[in-house]
Structure 1
Amino acid sequence: MKFYGYNKCGTCRKAQKFLDDQGVAYQSIDITETPPPKKVLKQAIARYGLKKLFNTSGVQYKELNMKDRVKTITEAEALDLLAGNGRLVKRPIAVNGDTVTVGFNEDEYQQVWAK
């Protein structure tokens, strides 16, 4: 499993603690340095929709005026932005094969990632 997160993010730390407590092995990747590839982002869009992938509380989201842009942005444009700027991506993203989760919801993690 690959876990795209940010060590200063409280939500990411909660998700990692959950995975650790469940004994789930994962490779931790700093999302700000290495954003998820477009393939992973496409999987996430298929499951959650395009707008759910943006970190709406992030500084980059506000600086780039994404609130207005996200209403008219194409999927291809969004993929380019998200794959090129990990600070725009809602975190954490956990992916294992064809399974992906975005953000941390304990119930969802229990269903998807618990052993």
Structure 2
Amino acid sequence: MHTLYIINTCDTCRKARKALEERGVPFRVHDLRKDGLSAGLLESFLERMPLKEAINKRSKTWRDLPAEQKEDLDANSTRALLLEHPTLLKRPLLDTGAALVVGYREGDYDNVAG
């Protein structure tokens, strides 16, 4: 079964969820704010997406971080920051088992099978 990683208050996440529901694709929801982000789960994402693309720099969480936390991020500090603030992870993330779809735009899930 597919897993959709979201934040419930995110409009794009709601659109992604609706797109899957309308297509009848079975999926479970993992709310990053409520359910958290483990180190193992983060590493499974990073095996399939570049680290530099993992942080959502348009998020309120990013904007609210002190400047010193945003400067000179390396692989270790980026991982630590994401684990401390799971809402920094780009979303929605759809894990189909075979692929990880980062973000959502209309039509992105047209080829996702149930």
Look up the equivalent residue of 1:6 and give its one-letter code: I
Shift of 1:104: 0.6
Distance 1:84 1:47, change over 3 A: same
**Aligned twin of 2:30:** 29
Gaps of 5+ in 1: none
Gaps of 5+ in 2: none
Give yes or no for contact 2:7–2:87 (8 Å, CA) kept in 1: no
CA distance in 2, matches of 1:27, 1:68: 32
TM-score (norm 1): 0.76
Q: Name the structure with the higher helix share.
A: 1
CA distance in 2, matches of 1:110, 1:27: 18
**Aligned twin of 1:99:** 99
Number of residues of Structure 1 aligned to a counterpart in Structure 2: 112
TM alignment of 1:44-63, pairs within 5 A = 44-63=45-64
SS of structure 2 residue aligned to 1:56 = coil
Shift of 1:13: 0.7
Shift of 1:94: 1.6
Amino-acid identity (%) = 28
TM-score (norm 2): 0.76
CA distance in 2, matches of 1:45, 1:61: 19
Give yes or no for contact 1:4–1:35 (8 Å, CA) kept in 2: no
RMSD of aligned alpha carbons: 2.5
